[in-house]
Structure 1
Amino acid sequence: MFDQAAFGRAALGWAALGRAALALVALGLSATAHAAELDGAQLSALWGVPFAGVLLSIALCPLLTPQFWHHHFGKVTAAWALAFLLPFAALFGVHAAGVSLVHALVAEYIPFIVLLTALYTVSGGIYIKGNLHGTPALNVSLLAIGAVLASFMGTTGASMLLIRPLIRANDNRKSCAHVVVFFIFVVSNIGGSLTPLGDPPLFLGFLKGVDFMWTAQHIWMETLFLTVALLALLYVIDSWLYRREGVLPQDPTPDSPPERLGFDGGINGVLLAAVVGLVLMSGTWQSGVAFQVAGAEFTLQGLLRDVGLVVVTLLSLLLTPKGVHAANQFGWGPMQEVAKLFAGIFLTIIPVIAMLKAGVNGPFGGVVSLVTRPDGSPDPVMYFWVTGALSSFLDNAPTYLVFFNTAGGDVQQLMGALAPVLAAISAGAVFMGANTYIGNAPNLMVKAIAEERGVKMPSFFGYMAWSFGILIPLFVIVTLVWVR
């Protein structure tokens, strides 16, 4: 019989072992030459083709070849990664390719996936009891709770905690895909816009010196407007569909007698607090201990965070009763899908981010120049839309950093005279991560969990029809009212 706990322990063990092995490889690379940062000004825009290939594969393959994609998406993603790495190694040398690989995996991907795994595992060990009934009022209430939680436990944590009870509450509805779509809008993205704990771009700003409550003070009205507007739209749409369904099928999970609302797996609440504490520690405590491996900087606080997250994950697997995992239908399928797809994204995005960092001197200089007015002053409106548009398809954390630095990178000036610019960058990176399934990691995880539980989710472009039809008009209102 498949042992989920054993699989989880093995997966985390391999992740830790992989990081150690890659670090050793990097030591060998750094011993032969000093790693210089990839100069995007020297690259052709054609280096972005593998990244575009990953995105198009995610968008088109589930539509055109669903069975093939289901069984081979990891191989397709790996093929696109090799389509970048092999030509890059041939033209720039094995050392340069190895340095880029180590930096992307050890310094960025593995910390990212370790945090996601910890949040996925811990939240999967909390079972919210009670036979909830998916009425429009309940669905809106769950999303409102998730929006509040997202800024304090992260969009990933809030999404993983609430998506299962939301789907279970609607398990006798003919369709609840629209509810999950709005869940991604509100809980997996916009709700995390108020603190550095909410979303990775804001955490990177926090590491750069942005005050912990600065974002909340400057974009709380935009966040409140979007949240309330989306919850109101969901209530209207869901009420219409709920009435249209008429007599619903028999609830497959009836309570006899009715079970009171509560939760099992309480130890995971403590572990969830530990995850938040570890992430906050890594951003607030400066140990002063750091070393470079193949051009990638490692800090003591970062390593302690990652080790602590692995320990938290293992403790969750060991201490959570099996009945809780069974009730939650906890499985590793969604986590495996996200891990494989984002491995390809993190690798193929290397030249794209480098070209953006090159600014006006790089192949994407036209994109960077869009955010500057003719008189040379920054344009907050364009910062909002350009940061948001790129965050919809690229990793929104490095995109935030690119435009943070494009605006000057002086944190005191950005929090002072250029506050409208920093607010626009922050809002664009977080809000518009909701535009596509790949705009923010929780989006894809929520989709995978919903599909695993039988919800027929929209395709990549189908989801964009929802997001463009609903979110873009709201973002236009945000621009007209608040972005100056």
Structure 2
Amino acid sequence: MRVGGVLAAAGCAALLLAPGAAWAAGGVPGAQLSLAWSVPFVGILLSIALMPLFAGHLWHHHYGKIAAGWAALFLVPFALAYGPGAAWWQFAHVMVLEYVPFIALLAALYTAGGGVLLRGRLIGTPAVNTALLALGTVLASLMGTTGAAMVLIRPVLRANSFRRTKTHTFVFFIFLVANIGGSLTPVGDPPLYLGFLRGVSFFWPTTHLFGEFLTCVVILLALYWVLDTIAWAREKPVVPASERPEPLSIEGWVNVWLVGAIVAVVIAMGYVKLGTLSILGQEMATERALGILLFGAITLASVKATPAALREANGFAWGAILEVAKLFAAIFICMAPVLAILGAGRDGAAAGLVALTSDANGAPVPWVYFWLSGVLSSFLDNAPTYIVFFELAGGDAAKLMTDGALVLAAISCGAVFMGANSYIGNAPNFMVKAIVEENGERMPSFFGYMAWAGIVLIPLFVLVTFLFFR
């Protein structure tokens, strides 16, 4: 059974198991939830982290069922405790307003980006690899972290196919292209796009986050170049004659235009207002529903317009997006009570954590916003985490862009930058990992990747704190 069917069955079971409760008009307030409701979320995180190491065969063949099981472990007790209406509302809210828009955009970028083929050959020297990472970092704010990652990860794989020491290249690719590069526009990363929808002007991140962006990018690119130069000197790789440099050209131009169409739809959804409509009891902006339909149409257009031979030459496969779709469906469901608890602020079970965001006089503390939004974005999806702290900071975009600019910058940087701290902090991280592994290359384990982040990124973010948020 597909994971969608499993999750739907779990939702239906939750409704049937709760006797005699009326259908709820809304969810359960976060102030009523205890931290015990975070157990399924912790469980799915530990499954993603540990099962590939200790039960690899079971995980790789049944990860969808395992993820659905954790989702059911939240939905069924939730229905028993609060009634079938509340459980259905929570399930529908996550699916309609969060998961479907997320996966529709991701699938469109994955499909169109995977249909752009860079012909020719680059040789993965330290200089070339650094240039590719720099290019991807710039593209991430223009076409989104997912789009940039999908366009460039396969050329990076091909450029380094003859090298033995290359895991660090893919790790830094996630750091820069899949995360930090997307910090300059709302198109770049979902948290900034949600801020755009709530009134943050389009170029506000460009002008207010550029210093933080440039600091991180310059340091990371310099560090990568040093590491790759050392690796090259130790390895002394010999480039096979078949892999000599060839002139570069782009094939699949239709997909380049389709990626541009995706970006245009994303921007349009921020400016065009068409009212709301009800879907499964959830109020969704009409323009957002139309955007989802357009993303679906673009995905189909890319599939139809791209020759199979081109996708084969690009090493394209559907496995990565299917894995992300299955795992993130369950992750979104399981993290819903965690976000609700955080959203309750000082009235919720995480009140002690929320209280850290302001000083004794009630003034916001920017560096605390940076680290709290960042650490939580490392494990929760960074888009809803951004919204939680955006609302905690007042939720008034006009005020946050002016008087609260430092706090908004801290929230934005925390959500975007620290999505790089784990594989699940931002969806492109997991997609890059899956694509690299599909191509027969090794990636660090869940904790192995976090060790890389701890060694490289955490000291960098400490520096950013002292330079910009003290």
Structure-2-length-normalised TM-score: 0.94
In structure 1, how many angstroms separate the alpha carbons of the residues matched to 2:418 and 2:54?
27
Aligned to 1:108: 98
Aligned partner letter, 1:141:
A
In structure 2, how many angstroms separate the alpha carbons of the residues matched to 1:33 and 1:342?
27
Q: Say yes or no: does 1:181 pair with 2:167.
A: no
Aligned to 2:196: 206
Q: 2:219 aligns with which of 204, 223, 229?
A: 229
Q: Report SS of the residue matched to 1:175.
A: coil
Q: Say yes or no: does 1:385 pair with 2:371.
A: yes
Tell me the number of residue pairs that the alignment of Structure 1 and Structure 2 aligns: 456
Q: What do residues 285-313 of structure 1 show as CA deviations (whole Å, max 9, x unaligned)? A: 112x2123455221221111111111111
Contact 1:334 1:449 in 2 (8 A): yes
Aligned to 2:262: 275
Report the CA distance between 1:249 and its aligned residue. 6.5
Aligned partner letter, 1:146:
G
Contact 1:114 1:310 in 2 (8 A): yes
Aligned partner letter, 2:250:
F
Contact 2:123 2:243 in 1 (8 A): no
Aligned to 2:382: 396
- Structure 1 unaligned spans of 5+: 1-10, 26-31
Q: Once superposed, what is the RMSD of the aligned Cα atoms?
A: 1.8
Contact 1:222 1:482 in 2 (8 A): yes
In structure 2, how many angstroms separate the alpha carbons of the residues matched to 1:483 and 1:102?
38
Q: Report SS of the residue matched to 1:212.
A: coil
Q: 1:47 aligns with which of 22, 32, 37?
A: 37
Kindly report which structure 2 residues correspond to 1:300-339, keeping only aligned pairs within 5 A, or say none. Answer: 300-339=286-325
Aligned to 1:65: 55
Aligned partner letter, 1:254:
E
Q: What do residues 327-347 of structure 1 show as CA deviations (whole Å, max 9, x unaligned)? A: 012111111110111011011
Q: 1:460 aligns with which of 446, 465, 468?
A: 446
In structure 1, how many angstroms separate the alpha carbons of the residues matched to 2:28 and 2:148?
36
In structure 1, how many angstroms separate the alpha carbons of the residues matched to 2:424 and 2:49?
10
Q: 2:125 aligns with which of 124, 131, 135?
A: 135
Kindly report which structure 2 residues correspond to 1:79-98, keeping only aligned pairs within 5 A, or say none. Answer: 79-98=69-88
In structure 2, how many angstroms separate the alpha carbons of the residues matched to 1:295 and 1:480?
46
Q: 2:243 aligns with which of 236, 244, 254?
A: 254
Structure-1-length-normalised TM-score: 0.91
Q: Give the 3 Å change call, closer, same or farther, for CA 186–434 of structure 1 in structure 2.
A: same
Q: 2:187 aligns with which of 191, 194, 197?
A: 197
In structure 2, how many angstroms separate the alpha carbons of the residues matched to 1:391 and 1:126?
30
Q: Say yes or no: does 1:77 pair with 2:77.
A: no
Report the CA distance between 1:254 and its aligned residue. 3.3
Aligned to 1:362: 348
In structure 1, how many angstroms separate the alpha carbons of the residues matched to 2:279 and 2:113?
33
In structure 2, how many angstroms separate the alpha carbons of the residues matched to 1:55 and 1:173?
32
- Structure 2 unaligned spans of 5+: 16-21
Identity fraction in percent: 53
Aligned to 1:144: 134
Q: Give the 3 Å change call, closer, same or farther, for CA 86–37 of structure 1 in structure 2.
A: closer
Report the CA distance between 1:259 and its aligned residue. 3.5
Aligned partner letter, 2:125:
T
In structure 1, how many angstroms separate the alpha carbons of the residues matched to 2:255 and 2:385?
33
Contact 1:175 1:455 in 2 (8 A): no
In structure 1, how many angstroms separate the alpha carbons of the residues matched to 2:189 and 2:424?
14
Q: Report SS of the residue matched to 1:130.
A: strand
Q: Say yes or no: does 1:423 pair with 2:393.
A: no
Q: What do residues 265-294 of structure 1 show as CA deviations (whole Å, max 9, x unaligned)? A: 11111111111111111111112x212345
In structure 1, how many angstroms separate the alpha carbons of the residues matched to 2:214 and 2:360?
33
Contact 1:35 1:294 in 2 (8 A): no
Contact 2:385 2:415 in 1 (8 A): yes
Q: Report SS of the residue matched to 2:250.
A: strand
Report the CA distance between 1:33 and its aligned residue. 4.7
Q: 2:209 aligns with which of 208, 219, 232?
A: 219
Q: Which moved more, 1:241-250 or 1:102-111?
A: 241-250
Aligned to 2:361: 375
Aligned partner letter, 1:401:
I
In structure 2, how many angstroms separate the alpha carbons of the residues matched to 1:351 and 1:294?
20
In structure 2, how many angstroms separate the alpha carbons of the residues matched to 1:44 and 1:114?
32
Report the CA distance between 1:439 and its aligned residue. 0.4
Aligned to 1:28: none
Q: What do residues 204-257 of structure 1 show as CA deviations (whole Å, max 9, x unaligned)? A: 111110111111111101100100110000000001001111243736x536xx
Report the CA distance between 1:34 and its aligned residue. 5.4
Q: Report SS of the residue matched to 1:48.
A: helix
Aligned partner letter, 2:254:
I
In structure 1, how many angstroms separate the alpha carbons of the residues matched to 2:52 and 2:108?
28
Aligned partner letter, 1:273:
G
Q: What do residues 433-456 of structure 1 show as CA deviations (whole Å, max 9, x unaligned)? A: 000000000000000000111111
Aligned partner letter, 1:126:
V
Aligned to 1:125: 115
In structure 1, how many angstroms separate the alpha carbons of the residues matched to 2:103 and 2:467?
37
Q: Report SS of the residue matched to 1:349.
A: helix
Aligned partner letter, 2:457:
L
